[in-house]
Amino acid sequence: MAEHTALRFEVFGTVQGVGFRPFVHRLATGLGLDGWAANSAGHVRGEVAGPPQAVREFTAQLRTAAPALARVREVRITEITEMRGRTPPPTTGFVIRRSRPGDTPGDTAGDTPSETPPREIPPDAAICADCLRELLDPHDRRFRYPFVNCTDCGPRATVIEDLPYDRVRTTMRHFPLCADCAAEYDDPGDRRFHAEPLACPVCGPRLSWGELVGEAALRAAVETVERGGIVAVKALGGYQLVCDATDQQVVRALRERKNRPAKPFAVMVQDIDGVRELAQPARGEQLALESMARPVVLLASREAGLAPAVHPGSDRIGLFLPTTGLHHLLVRELARPLVVTSGNLAGEPIAADDAEAHRALAAVADGFLGHDRPIHARYDDSVVQVVEGSVLTVRRARGLAPAPLPLRVGAPVPLVAVGAQLKHTFALAEGHDAHVSPHGGDLADAAALDAFTHAYDGLVRLTGITPRAVAHDLHPGYLSTQWAQAQSLPRIPVQHHHAHVAACAAEHGVRGPFLGVAYDGLGLGADGTLWGGEILVADLTDHRRAGRFATAPLPGGEAAVRHPYRMALGYLHGTELLGSPRPYPWLTKPFTDRIDPDEAAVVRAMVARGINSPRASSAGRLFDAVASLLGLADSVSYEGEAAAALEGAAGAVDATPLAHRLVRADGLWVYDPGTTLIDLLERQYNGESVAALAAAFHLTLALVTAELVAHAVEDGAPRTVCLAGGCFLNRRLLTEVSVRLRAQGLRVLVSGAVPVGDGGICYGQAAVAAARLAKG
């Protein structure tokens, strides 16, 4: 009697929508095994039978040889004992079974829902090399077909309506397969074997431009851009606005119509050679550009070939490579760099629904290049930058989200963390995973709130996570906090800057106490005041201040954020009294001469009387003040604009630090910026260049940070330091601080997969909430 082994297997992780079942089929067939595989609600399950050695090899390779887009988190093996010692049945081969719509994670192998990991949703993947070759091959039946894809690439998160992941539960259900596509879908030897978004010109989606379809629609869009027009293009996760990036007039028109006066636009180029014409990518930056996520990568600009209005006031440019077949066709037909930016008005979510797009973008676009494949979930483009060889996420969206991020301290009950107000994201957490939503923009109005609730409902349904607790920011004015308060769930408030540094710690698996440096614009502190320049001693459950920046008034509140000259006046006339003198009037004359005297008088009176001038210990607002004092930004149109201008002015200039001092106040070490500002004004008065002073300010903040941290360590703080907050998107500041802290023998961590700014707040909230719940 031939020896025979039979096993049941279940594979959890990102194993749907990534070609995992075809991989299992090839593996089993190659080893001569019988059995079957199928998608379950959020994982892959099946049975396999054959010689013991072949079965052992099968189970080993399930873990080690999975497709590139897959993430195998857990493999469960159960022996089918009734087969032990029996004569093997006649050979039946290995097949892929249809998924059962009624499958739930708890209906197989004796599982209960609580024992089964949450379902993982695969991110969209950029067009692969094989599909690109077909797109450009005149002899291929998918020649110039914009929606070409296979098991290794194409839409995933943007089209999945429910799990198990099968075509009937995606927006591709509207497109029955033709005979040729059906043959590919059923052929185990074809790379489109069970590729759910499979399509071709005969049976798949079609481009449209008014009454025109297909190639005629594409030609109309190309001609519009060639004539200096702006086209709204329906992409993977929403509409994008596209125009000629070398045409100053059209780029300025786009800014005016979109109401985006200054924030840099992303630019798409055909290939890496096109990138090199505009920037100088290092190896790590090239790898990021060419990854399957195809993010926008922030690079040092060559200052050549683009309209100046593409990235005014910044020495960096966001470049990316084509994501889909449609993008490849557009950029190749136009043979020039293209501005490719979110299809929305400033402050609104990206438009994903066709009717919504035509309403919102009617006054922006000169035409609409659409198609008839619905977008189920909106996804903007991801943005990354490379600092000291490490890829740091600026905005986590298409290609990266909603792949789960690990939680070293698992959440004992399912929870939702609703994030902050700016650069909004939310997270669903259960066990040791946090599923972070894509970037949703600023949560500032009803439209953004509606987009958040729609995305929340969708991610709850797909992951199977039903929250039993909600974590939120302390600020009562945030719409996310108000949404959390309206839920019938236990609430876990998490201080803003604690969430920032906890996000960094959690990503790096830090469980014990650590030092956190949190520099950002504003966040409500544990004492009810506004924070933003903080040195914290923390763990994942709690925190305390060990140091801070001195406070200064924000004259007019939000108006001070929009008008950095108000912050400059606030610092000049109202910095927390720690012993530094006020600057002599003639030092401030170059600055005050630019400001309307009546306006300046009003602001000074507000500061003197404490009228609508809340105080904040904010690093971000200090950046704003310095940018205004140096004449770089008196008013701004987006958060961080003044700081970006200051970073751009500093460039790579060598610098001598400005004067600075720390004082002891209320048991904390406090940085007094007054001394620094007086020195800056004196050096400006004596003719020192803006570039040198901008560089000097960056160096000074790095030295201040190193001294604040050194004092905390002397007082017994841990030697692991987590850097977090939007100010650390500043490459020069991040590098200068990291170098000096490492020189003190400290372990320095910064987030990579988690956005360092407010886009990472929800993950930090989830980490804190999970740790508190686990602690009990």
Q: Which residues are catalytic?
A: 21, 39
Residue 251 identity: V
Helix extents (H) in 117-213: 129-135, 179-186
The rounded distance, in Å, linking the Cα atoms of 630 and 683 is 11
Whether the CB-CB separation of 151 and 406 falls below 8 Å is answered with: no
Q: Between the CA of residue 8 and those of 49, 75, 82, what are the distances in Å?
A: 9, 10, 12
- What is the SS3 string spanning 716-735? CCCCEEEEECHHHHCHHHHH
Whether the CB-CB separation of 451 and 349 falls below 8 Å is answered with: yes
Residue 571 identity: Y
Using DSSP's 3-state secondary structure scheme, residue 39 falls into: strand
What secondary structure does DSSP assign to 193-245, as a single string? TT-TT---TTTS--EEETTEEHHHHHHHHHHHHHTT--EEEE-SSSEEEEEET
The rounded distance, in Å, linking the Cα atoms of 238 and 216 is 22
The rounded distance, in Å, linking the Cα atoms of 69 and 63 is 13
- The position carrying tokens 């990354």 is 384
Residue 49 is inside which H or E element, if any? strand 44-50
Using DSSP's 3-state secondary structure scheme, residue 616 falls into: strand
Q: Are strands 552-553 and 543-549 parallel, antiparallel or unpaired?
A: unpaired
Kindly list the strands in the beta sheet with 71-79, ordered across the sheet, starting from the edge strand earlier in the chain.
71-79, 5-14, 44-50, 34-39, 94-96
Residue 542 identity: D
Cα Rg, the chain, nearest whole Å = 28
Q: Label residue 174 exposed, middle or buried (CB < 10 Å: 0-12, 13-18, 19+).
A: exposed
Q: Which letter does DSSP use for residue 160 in this model?
A: B
Number of Cβ atoms within 10 Å of the Cβ of 601 = 11
- Exposure string of 662-678, with b = 16+ CB inside 10 Å and e = fewer, is beeeeebbbbbbbbbbb
- Exposure string of 368-378, with b = 16+ CB inside 10 Å and e = fewer, is bbbbebbbbbb
Q: Which letter does DSSP use for residue 739 in this model?
A: H
Number of Cβ atoms within 10 Å of the Cβ of 579 = 10
- What is the SS3 string spanning 474-485? CCCCCHHHHHHH
Contacts of 492 (CB under 8 A, 6+ apart): 415, 469, 470, 471, 472, 765, 768, 769, 772, 773
Backbone angles phi, psi at 733, to 5 degrees: -60, -45
Residue 434 identity: A
| CA contacts within 13 A on the Cβ side of 446 | 0
The rounded distance, in Å, linking the Cα atoms of 165 and 181 is 18
Contacts 24+ apart (CB under 8 A), 683-686: 683/658, 684/587, 684/590, 684/629, 684/630, 685/586, 685/587, 685/590
Six-digit token pair at 19? 């070609």
Task: Provide the terminal-to-terminal Cα distance of the chain, rounded to the nearest Å.
Answer: 57
